[in-house]
């Protein structure tokens, strides 16, 4: 499965800037103050890392399609 889009969805919870996503997938996420998706990344190269980061996010704000 290719991933075309990754984003921060804070409609129910807010990112707590724990840095777990950056630890799991530093090539996709960075957390200066709040999680950011790095622009220009070919998400298809990091499918497993993106899924792992989303599944382990304590506030479940990482979404992808």
Q: What is the pLDDT of residues 4-57, one digit of tens each?
A: 999 999 898 899 999 999 999 999 999 998 889 999 999 999 999 999 999 999
pLDDT recorded at residue 8:
94
SS3 53: helix
Query: Could you tell me which residues are beta bridge partners of residue 34?
Result: none
Token pair of 44 as six digits: 């298809």
Parallel, antiparallel, or unpaired: how do β-strands 29-30 and 36-37 relate? Answer: antiparallel
Kindly report the CATH number that applies to the domain delimited by 6-64. 3.30.70.20
Tally helices (H) and strands (E) across the chain.
2, 4
Q: What pTM was computed for the model?
A: 0.92
pLDDT recorded at residue 13:
86
């Amino acid at each position: 499965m290719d991933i075309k889009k990754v984003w921060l969805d804070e409609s129910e919870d807010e990112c707590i800037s724990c840095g777990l996503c950056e630890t799991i997938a530093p090539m996709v996420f960075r957390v200066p103050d709040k999680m950011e998706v790095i622009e220009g990344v070919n998400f298809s190269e990091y499918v497993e890392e993106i899924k792992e980061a989303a599944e382990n996010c304590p506030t479940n704000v990482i979404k992808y399609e």
